[in-house]
A and B are shown apart, each in its own frame.
Chain A
Amino acid sequence: MYSDLLHALPNVFALTNFAAVVIGVIAGIVVGAMPGLSATMAISVLVPFTFGLEPLVALGLMAGIYNGAMYGGAIPAVLLRIPGTPAAVATTFDGYPMAQKGQGGFALQVAVVSSSIGGIASAFALMLLAPPLSKVTLLFGPSEVFWVAVFGLASIIFLLGGNPVKGLISACFGVFVSVIGSDPIYGNDRFTFGQLEMLDGINIVILLVGLYALPPVIDLLETPLKTDGVNSSNLGTEPIWKALPRMKYWKTWIRGSLIGIWIGILPGAGGSMAAFMSYNEARRTSKHPETWGEGEPEGVAAAEVANNADTASALIPALTLGIPGTAVAAVMLGGLLVHGLQPGPMLFRDNPDIVFGFMWQFLFGAILLVLLGGSLATNSFARLLNLPRPLLGSVIIVLMLIGVYSIHGRMFDVYLMLGFGAIGWVMDRLKFPLPPVVLGLILGGFAEENLRLALRIGRGDPMILFQNTTSLILVALTIAVVVGPTLKKRFIDGRKEV
């Protein structure tokens, strides 16, 4: 089962593949360090540029960006008390007080080492758990695949938290977008309105760039951020080999890694939840909890190890079942599709070199974090906070246009992207979750195809969807995911009343 994993290793060391991870990590740290930009947005902008690249080069860039951005978010969190990414909120609790005491450099070194450890643990979890899970899913037929898609959508809608009605609207919108274009079986046009450009359907990259890249650009231009640069000019950084012996947080690192991996696997959770849980657990078990919140380095370690431990593990359900654990994983699924790699069990059978190479790239990306983000580099990255946001916004607009135009060499796609961008901005402001839209687009066509196939096998009888144990288990899991949060809430409310 794991022999393919070893066979894929030499490919990862090819110069271009390895260079892609290095560039990705650096780019990820830069993006993560800029408040308002995120790994999701960076990967969305990047995906169209990877069309002409070898799959492992493209995936290496994505793996590097994901790892780098999760650490990069700690830089403004420590220096400005502004989390660079949502997952870095818990890092501000002790990171910023450390920076105010002139220990910003040490706080960032704790963050980078902890992020690296979390990332390594997560990559190992992906390597160990994904292959056996993919073997199980190979046994699935059309009705099981249909229910997997329904379960994936239900998970991301109901476990994401927030308003389930808004989650359902997002998912319906995503599934509707997936049916635009020619009918896969009969070939008749659906909602193309005579536009030849839409016959092949809506390219996922157009949707990703519109939904995930345009709203942050508007945010960059809407709210000018003024930084005084006080903490970034007084980091007090010493070489990382001198700082390492002071980091004795093994229990926190192990606990945080396990929490992060578990949260990553759960669809709909994410790095910020992992970081908060790890921080709270570490504080609860600390011998001196009174120092937490006032500049305790272990607090930074707890938050950062967990938010990086959910990176690769979020890809376990994504690669094996096509159900992403986080928004970034959803965007990465889009990246895989661009290269003709359909997530699911067949991916492991048909493209083992690529899928296992991707796992190695996650591992090396995590290791490279310490080398590229530690010591002197941390000082350099901290200076990025002084880049003018309007200038950054205008450059991203240009990159978005180039990326989307390059897909088919036509402006129609750019206008479509702007339309999705406007929708994305409204959804973002009204707190409609965006991951269900992406997942709806990815799973919608997939679900429809398998539903119709199952119905043909059953000669139109819908009971074919409920005629085997696996399907019934998946239906039960879907129901549990839908009603579970409501029952839990009622149970908690009931206990409060008692």
Chain B
Amino acid sequence: MPESRTSRLKRPETLTALGIIVVAAAFLIPTYDLRAISALLPAVMLIGLIVLSVLLLLADQRKARAGEDAQPMTKSPKRVIGAFLLIVAYALATDFIGFYVSTAATIPLVAWVFGYRSPLGLLIATVIVVGTIWAIFDFGMSQDFPTGRFWGR
């Protein structure tokens, strides 16, 4: 199947290889300030990553030249991006407004957004999960969870 992308550089493996090369090269800079023996292993690994990524890039471009189409990384990019964003938002909310409030909102929100729409089921699941976490971790194990930077705690 011929390449369906507008540019061969937009193939997932090519983009990944380029990303690794850039990041590994950036990480190489601090190794100059290290003692030679301390820098040995990290420098070898970073140079290895660059060389291997070049090989990966060349192999992928060769496939593109041969007319081999690269599979997309996901068939539902909006769902994947949405899932990632919700997870990151949950972590940020936990950090800034506190664990219990964020968790009580996230469980039904994520389940609702991704297709489980039973209000009673969501309510029961949220109460059971949050209640169990409180009973086991807070009450039973005295585990402190974030109370929220926003509230100055």
Question: B143 contacts A406, CB within 8 Å?
Answer: yes
- Who on chain B is nearest to A400 by CB? B87
B19-36 interface code vs A (CB 8 A; 1 in, 0 out): 010000001001000110
Would you list 16 pairs from A and B whose C-beta atoms are within 8 A, ordered by A residue?
A172-B46, A172-B52, A179-B41, A218-B83, A221-B83, A389-B116, A390-B110, A391-B111, A391-B121, A394-B109, A397-B87, A402-B145, A414-B94, A430-B13, A444-B41, A447-B41
Interface residues of A in 208-259 (CB under 8 A from B): 214, 217-218, 221-224
Interface residues of B in 74-104 (CB under 8 A from A): 74, 76, 79-80, 82-84, 87-88, 90-91, 94-95, 103
- Who on chain B is nearest to A166 by CB? B56
B55 at interface, CB cutoff 8 A: yes
A112 at interface, CB cutoff 8 A: no
Q: Tell me the bound Cα distance from A414 to B110 in angstroms.
A: 18
Binding site for B on A (CB under 8 A): 52, 165-166, 168-169, 172-173, 175-176, 179, 183, 185-186, 188, 190-191, 214, 217-218, 221-224, 388-391, 393-395, 397-398, 401-402, 405-406, 409, 411, 414-415, 418, 421-422, 425-426, 429-430, 444, 447-448, 451-452, 455
Question: A394 contacts B146, CB within 8 Å?
Answer: no
Q: How large is the interface on B (under 10, 10 to 19, 20 to 34, 35 or more residues)?
A: 35 or more
**A448/B41 contact (C-beta < 8 A), A390-B110, A409-B144 known:** yes
- List of B residues within 8 angstroms of A218 by Cβ: 80, 83-84
Most B Cβ at <10 Å: residue of A185, A395, A421, A444: A395
Q: How many pairs of residues, A versus B, come closer than 8 Å at their CB atoms?
A: 150
**B71: min CB distance to chain A, Å:** 9
Question: A168 contacts B34, CB within 8 Å?
Answer: no
The secondary structure that dominates the B interface is helix
**A176/B46 contact (C-beta < 8 A), A217-B83, A222-B76, A391-B121 known:** yes
- List of B residues within 8 angstroms of A221 by Cβ: 79, 82-83, 110, 114
Question: A165 contacts B59, CB within 8 Å?
Answer: yes
Question: A411 contacts B116, CB within 8 Å?
Answer: no
Q: Tell me the bound Cα distance from A455 to B34 in angstroms.
A: 18
- List of B residues within 8 angstroms of A415 by Cβ: 91
